[in-house]
Structure 1
Amino acid sequence: MYINSKHRIFGLDIIRALAILLVLCSHSTLLLFPNQNNVYLTVTQFFGTVGVDLFFVLSGYLIGGILLKQINEGKVTVKDFLYFWVRRWFRTLPNYFLILILNILLFYFLHEKIIENIFYFFAFLQNFSSPHPGFFTEAWSLSIEEYAYIVGPLALLILMTFFKNCSKKTLYIVMSLVIIIIITFLRINYHTNHDIISHHDWSKHIRKVVIYRIDSIYYGFLAAFLAQVFHSAWNNYKKWFLVLGILLFIGLHSCVFLFNMQPENSQLFFNVFYLPLLSISLLLFFPFFSSWKTGGPFKNTITKISVLSYALYLINYSIVLLTIQNFISVEGTPLVIKFLILLLYWFLSFGLSYLLFKYFERPMTNLRDSSFFK
């Protein structure tokens, strides 16, 4: 698999590869121990959720950087923003719609049912303001990312239209902060009017709903601004930021563990503060990793995993894991059989993702660079 690494930042490839591997490890526990619950499984599954948050803040950091680059180059017309959206959509939508259609066909083949309100998935409305359905469950995070890509740049374009004399970078910050504040108030409103009865309930109604989560992307926007405007401090204090991020991450979850904090007994903390603090702790790692330009002996492997991460995320659960579970029961099977099932899951996930990337995703992303779209 040929990869043009000229413009890639190895440290960010590490973050992306780590994020998808955490997700795969988490899903592996669901495959092998679907009805079991212990501290080891809980920790592994927790880091899987952290992997998704890594994707959120990384997406915000990269997309925010692209918007800032457009601002610096004076590319702030409606045409420029349309070109920005076309490039993003050619990167994300073809894979999504292909896997969505495959999921619909696979679900019908296995269960002879058609999902109710399936058309919501084609507009990313399935979890816009309510819990995500039980079908194609990994799509919840894609809805959050897609709306974040639309809302922020559109708000920025509107601000620049009405405040032509203001600094474009100032308006970029205003846009990011206003969206973060609005989403925070929406979570406060939910907290005021609803009771959370379990961690699953919190995850379903808060963590996986668009209008309560897109602020995670915009924390990444703020980090992109800081990285550009305060470039010297971003690089000079990168190790200190890394240490601070580790301390915040460990401290945050140590409090959760030591004080037995759960969404049902610490609702204000989880509904309003936990997810932003998690995003900030992860972004504090970025000064260190965003300056990591070269790799060691595992560079090619890490870069390939990073490149396949989007395809892996789409394929590994609904397409591979649930299909395996439909035909193979792991309950009461010997450990060696479970190991073989695990190998099958990882082999199919990477193999199908490679095929998706090579024969569909990469041709689509190459098409966006054609002269027609420029």
Structure 2
Amino acid sequence: MIVDFNRRNFGLDLMRATAISFVLVVHLLLNFIPRDFWILWYVAYLGVDVFFVLSGFLIGTLLLQAIDKTNGQFGFSAFRRFLLRRWMRTVPLYYVLLAVNFTAGYFFLNSVATFDFSFVVWSQNLLTTPPHFFGESWSLCVEEWFYILYPFGLFLVLKIFQRKGRMVPLLYTVLFIAAGIITRSLLVREKFSELNIVFLRMDAIAYGVLFAVLDRYFLSILFKRRSSAFGLAGLVLFMAGVIFFLKATTKAYLLYYPLSGLGLGCQLIYLKQCFVEPATAAVTRSVRFLSKISYSVYLNNLVVIFLIKKYCSFPVIWQIITAAATIVVVSTFTFRFIEKYFIALRERLVSSARPVNDQEGTPHSENFSVSGLGRSGTKR
């Protein structure tokens, strides 16, 4: 299958481009203009939360398409193909940037960059907070473990219950989210220090899967009639989560996670269905370009910032501009020559149960176009 990067959903591209912009701007400001603005860290985490929900939605759509319509099963071969597709999408660039970060840290930044096998198997923050080295990779670890655990659980549940239809994937996803909420409420003690441990954050991706299930099986009629109310409800839920996070002095701040997940999921559905491309072609191209290179930007940005900060002595504003421009150039290169190469290779090597048109996902998500699936899987 030839990868088509032109057939895209602008609402999802806008959401993705906004998220990577949050992360990049925060990293630039905190590294070149160091201040004790802890609220900026929250904005960066918000960008990652958007990526998680987007990733879950796109991955969930793929998994639902892989369920056999005749017997309602998600076969082991489909599970294997899913993992191979995901790993060929995310792993090559990750390993390249892992090597780049280690080389830069060891030879050019005078920082601690000793080799740790945990980075190879995505376990550097499996049960503990991640080290400072290659710190942005923490969210990729959450994604990779989700790719393994959620589909394997779905495979087992469908095997056990032997039922077709929409309720099994829905209930399984709800229980997966509930398990995450309970685990976090029992183990988290501080707002920021434990929020990037893998088993405390996997439910963030499951909210996206939940909305993929809802979008495929439940929302076609409701959404046509209540689209604006749906978008407004998403905004209210998200803002309520933010208020809990910023104001709560007890563990009530943990309500941010389910409220934010549900709110961002509602906004995703709204933008996917209703957001019209701007009349200005330059804006459309810019948003789509930033969306395409978002994974590369996410993994490239910190090492470029550290090198510019150490070796460029000109004024801060020019350091910021130079770093931003360099990140875009480097990310365009890695997208074109690493990401796209392995995406094309994947399409030649990994057979799919059903043909899927590719679109850039989140920084770590499947590349495919979501064009509005209704209950029957047809375009609305």
Category of TM-score, reference length = shorter chain: 0.7 to 0.9
User: Does 1:47 pair with 2:43?
Assistant: yes
- Residues 68, 274 of structure 1: CA spacing in aligned structure 2 closer, same or farther, 3 A cutoff? same
> 1:220 corresponds to which residue?
208
User: Does 1:175 pair with 2:201?
Assistant: no
> 2:362 corresponds to which residue?
none
> 1:280 corresponds to which residue?
262
> 2:235 corresponds to which residue?
246
Higher helix fraction: Structure 1 or Structure 2? 1
Once the two structures are superposed, what CA deviation does each residue of 1:278-334 show, in whole Å capped at 9, x if it has no partner?
A: 1112112122211147522211111111010000000011x21122223346xxx8x
Contact 1:104–1:114 (CA<8 Å) still a contact in 2? no
Once the two structures are superposed, what CA deviation does each residue of 1:44-86 show, in whole Å capped at 9, x if it has no partner?
A: 4432221110000110111111111122656732112211111
Give 5+ residue unaligned stretches, structure 1.
Answer: 197-201
Once the two structures are superposed, what CA deviation does each residue of 1:173-205 show, in whole Å capped at 9, x if it has no partner?
A: 2331222222222212214xxx43xxxxx3221
> 1:199 corresponds to which residue?
none
For 2:343, what is the secondary structure of its paired residue?
A: helix
CA distance, structure 1, for counterparts of residue 252 and residue 156 of structure 2: 34
TM-score (norm 1): 0.85
> 1:209 corresponds to which residue?
197
> 2:378 corresponds to which residue?
none
Contact 2:305–2:323 (CA<8 Å) still a contact in 1? yes
- Residues 316, 163 of structure 1: CA spacing in aligned structure 2 closer, same or farther, 3 A cutoff? same
Once the two structures are superposed, what CA deviation does each residue of 1:249-276 show, in whole Å capped at 9, x if it has no partner?
A: 334434555xx43xxx32x123x32222
CA distance, structure 2, for counterparts of residue 247 and residue 184 of structure 1: 20
Contact 1:71–1:168 (CA<8 Å) still a contact in 2? no
CA distance, structure 2, for counterparts of residue 255 and residue 203 of structure 1: 14
Q: CA deviation at 1:373?
A: 4.4
- Residues 46, 235 of structure 1: CA spacing in aligned structure 2 closer, same or farther, 3 A cutoff? farther
> 2:183 corresponds to which residue?
186
RMSD (Å) for aligned C-alpha atoms: 2.2
For 2:348, what is the secondary structure of its paired residue?
A: coil
Counting matched residue pairs gives 344
Residue pairs, 1:1-374, within 5 angstroms: 4-34=4-34, 36-37=35-36, 41-71=37-67, 73=69, 76-111=74-109, 115-116=113-114, 118-164=116-162, 166-167=163-164, 169-191=166-188, 195-196=189-190, 202-205=191-194, 207-230=195-218, 231-254=220-243, 260-261=247-248, 265-266=249-250, 268-270=251-253, 272-292=254-274, 294-296=276-278, 297=280, 298-317=283-302, 319-328=303-312, 337-370=315-348, 373=351
State the AA in 2 paired with 1:78.
Answer: F
Q: CA deviation at 1:12?
A: 0.4
TM-score (norm 2): 0.84
CA distance, structure 2, for counterparts of residue 372 and residue 150 of structure 1: 17
State the AA in 2 paired with 1:15.
Answer: M
Give 5+ residue unaligned stretches, structure 2.
Answer: 353-380
- Residues 244, 328 of structure 1: CA spacing in aligned structure 2 closer, same or farther, 3 A cutoff? same
Once the two structures are superposed, what CA deviation does each residue of 1:208-267 show, in whole Å capped at 9, x if it has no partner?
A: 01101000111111111111112221343221111122223334434555xx43xxx32x
CA distance, structure 2, for counterparts of residue 236 and residue 366 of structure 1: 40
- Residues 113, 27 of structure 1: CA spacing in aligned structure 2 closer, same or farther, 3 A cutoff? closer
- Residues 234, 71 of structure 1: CA spacing in aligned structure 2 closer, same or farther, 3 A cutoff? farther
State the AA in 2 paired with 1:97.
Answer: Y
State the AA in 1 paired with 2:294.
Answer: S
CA distance, structure 2, for counterparts of residue 108 and residue 252 of structure 1: 40
Q: CA deviation at 1:5?
A: 4.8
CA distance, structure 1, for counterparts of residue 50 and residue 109 of structure 2: 34
CA distance, structure 1, for counterparts of residue 27 and residue 112 of structure 2: 25
> 2:369 corresponds to which residue?
none
